[in-house]
Structure 1
């Protein structure tokens, strides 16, 4: 008894069958995505073979349509083709409209996130769109009604955008030759420190990528060890190696210490709800120039100047309030310390303006060069003025000069100017 070898099954996809034009009129079929579509019942005939097509037609439709011949059969075929074409156009249009509505939802969510607006504003934007459409093109109302901009949808869209950017960055990280990091800290409305990690890389083709790599909450301490752990986790996430890291940039401004008199006083007033309410009521009663005292945030370098300026302007009201609270601050009566406070508030104002000129993605290196060179010249001018007790550009010092008779601490100011000039070397930017 001989055993025959089992025959291999043919793979239909490899037979390269082609749809023949005469099948359309003979069996009322058309080709769709490599398969035969029956125009009479919309069934799909998987195998592109005349035998299968003929069997389908004879089994289901021959009794009803076999009497159609000649011109009448051709007209019926054209009618069926137009019908299926309209159906496909309708569903294609619906698909495109749904795709467009989703794209609008994503773009609006991106704008809201970019501008830092609440996600609930999405409903307001949709209402504005509906009002505009009602007046200009009411026939397109249904299109705009299909746009989903609820708070949950916007939140989900923002998450999707963030995940997409992260995945793109992970994929690009495989081609990194070198990269640098920029670290910054900020606080949210709950006073939780947020560590922002920006990454800039260059690949072998010298293509530069700059993105926000991660944002991590520092709910406990914000020591160097805590920050290092977050950086290490980010590098692991993107499969980056330490030997590819060429530069790390952080905020160069020295944070104000909580033991300093200004910050400790601000914290006493702002960190206690009762004290804060009473202080604002007191400022209202005495008709102070400003209604409140800003909260200094250690991770916001620019806030240093704002707090110092407002503290100086409200120094008299603060001294009275502290005395009423049985917590006097002797330095508020010390003219030497007040001179230093006034000078610090003024000089921090200059630094804040200079700092802002260096910020922004659109700032070019030539603009940065001009700003630094201009700041050096400004330093030379204001130093010569302050050393000759000319307070034209120092409003706080000018105000204090009119109130006290003690001399300005020139030695203290000279030391500050010396330190500032060291941060921008003349050998690099020119004299």
Structure 2
């Protein structure tokens, strides 16, 4: 049997399946034992990555405006890694694509980040004028007005739209707790750490949960870098509060026992579990590869209105929006709930100060009556008028996705479609970078700390545009597998 040198790691599983069908599992087992050297695997990864990169940066990005999503992290060897994703128009759709993962050799200043981005764009002869937006985590090195990444980009293209990640802003907003509620969270974490810090205690607690036929057997650890951590930890502690009481009585931890038997403390725990559950739902709703500024803004504004409704209901004495909170200590817990909801509302207005997408309603539905609120130029208003009266386009609008509709008319109605696509191309979160960090932790783990081709492995792993295996294989001479 012959196989091309490149892509053998892809071809062999297919061969194994064919051999298993035709000759049986024993023959397939022998096929699976064909060795691949580390150099062979590395060479194939490099060539597949190169093919993807040429296809994206060398071809597709030249014919489209694009938006960037940038963030940096530290890998297992304490090296700073900069990850960038790009969103651009690929044929008849808007595509998210991994751009690169580059090491920041010394410092992680805004100038260092900009130099890496600028060198990459120069390498592929891409213009900053085609960059319509950039989304970052809001760190000073990213958005600083003097030495931040954004300040250097603005010198290249002053029209770039800068977005502070919605997920990051929501996480900052949700950290706001009053002193009483903060104490409850701290005490919950002490309980969890008391059990999780020793394997013997964890096993004993698991045994107690088993004997009591509990829904869960283990507690969850809290970590500040995980967006959804607090809500999950609080909910799990609330669900296992009876098991925790039995455990702490066995451990003679009177302080923890007193807390778990205090109805007011439990009421505060119940409220925290409920409110963080609502915050987690908001957080997960704005995650995802297809989110843009319009969709994320709608969800944030909806939550702002919910906060106002909940606060009004709490002032009237109702806590039905928090199902875990019982009526046992309703009088005592109400002032804390009202105070916290007021603080959340205030912080949300601070972190999301100017969310107004009404001026972009024409993007969502170009067949609405035009108004002066849209801030369009004369040419754009004329083209929008032409679009809004075209019955054929109206039928197309009903059948196609929003992005596909605006892409389909960009040659005929250049100005208005360009303005619409500039908004639709914007990233609202750094979700893809966070997803990339998870893959980076898997690829460059403790046992692969000396791995050099991080950028290439990440590109092959995360790219939505796949390499042309057949084309690459044609450049290699076939040989007998051995």
Deviations 1:27-51 (A, max 9, x none): xxxxxxxxxxxxxxxxxxxxxxxxx
The answer to whether the 8 A contact 1:186-1:300 is kept is no
Deviation, structure 1 residue 129 = 4.9
Deviation, structure 1 residue 262 = 2.3
Deviation, structure 1 residue 342 = 1.7
Matches within 5 A, 1:4-403: 98-99=3-4, 102-103=6-7, 105-106=9-10, 127-132=16-21, 157=44, 161=48, 180-183=68-71, 197-200=83-86, 210-211=97-98, 213-214=100-101, 228=108, 232=112, 235-236=115-116, 239=119, 242=149, 243-244=152-153, 247=162, 249=164, 251-252=168-169, 253-254=171-172, 260-327=186-253, 328-329=255-256, 330-398=258-326, 401=327
Query: How many aligned residue pairs are there?
Result: 297
| Structure 1 residues 377 and 262: alpha-carbon distance in aligned structure 2, compared to 1, 3 A threshold | same
Deviation, structure 1 residue 186 = 10
* Root-mean-square deviation (Å): 5.2
The separation in 1 between residues aligned to 2:331 and 2:37, in whole angstroms, is 60
Q: Structure 1 stretch 409-418 or stretch 235-244: which is displaced more?
A: 235-244
Q: Indicate whether 1:418 and 2:305 are aligned.
A: no
The answer to whether the 8 A contact 2:314-2:338 is kept is no
Match of 1:76 in 2: none
The answer to whether the 8 A contact 1:185-1:299 is kept is no
The separation in 1 between residues aligned to 2:204 and 2:111, in whole angstroms, is 42
The separation in 2 between residues aligned to 1:231 and 1:282, in whole angstroms, is 55
Could you tell me which runs of 5 or more consecutive residues in structure 2 were left unpaired when the two chains were aligned: 122-148, 155-159, 176-181, 359-482
Deviation, structure 1 residue 198 = 2.9
Deviation, structure 1 residue 287 = 2.1
| Structure 1 residues 165 and 372: alpha-carbon distance in aligned structure 2, compared to 1, 3 A threshold | same
Q: Tell me the SS of whatever aligns to 1:228.
A: coil
Task: Compute the TM-score of the two structures, normalised by the length of structure 1.
Answer: 0.51
The separation in 2 between residues aligned to 1:397 and 1:214, in whole angstroms, is 46
The answer to whether the 8 A contact 2:238-2:270 is kept is yes
The answer to whether the 8 A contact 1:339-1:397 is kept is yes
Task: Compute the TM-score of the two structures, normalised by the length of structure 2.
Answer: 0.47
The separation in 1 between residues aligned to 2:22 and 2:118, in whole angstroms, is 45
Kindly indicate whether structure 1 or structure 2 has the higher relative contact order, using CA contacts under 8 Å at least 6 residues apart: 2
| Structure 1 residues 233 and 427: alpha-carbon distance in aligned structure 2, compared to 1, 3 A threshold | closer
Greater Rg by CA = 1
Could you tell me which runs of 5 or more consecutive residues in structure 1 were left unpaired when the two chains were aligned: 1-93, 109-121, 136-140, 218-225
The separation in 1 between residues aligned to 2:81 and 2:248, in whole angstroms, is 35
Deviations 1:287-322 (A, max 9, x none): 223211122232111122111111122223223323
Match of 1:39 in 2: none
| Structure 1 residues 268 and 197: alpha-carbon distance in aligned structure 2, compared to 1, 3 A threshold | farther
Match of 1:82 in 2: none
Match of 1:21 in 2: none
Q: Structure 1 stretch 421-430 or stretch 355-364: which is displaced more?
A: 421-430
Deviation, structure 1 residue 210 = 4.6
The separation in 2 between residues aligned to 1:395 and 1:227, in whole angstroms, is 48
The separation in 2 between residues aligned to 1:367 and 1:197, in whole angstroms, is 24
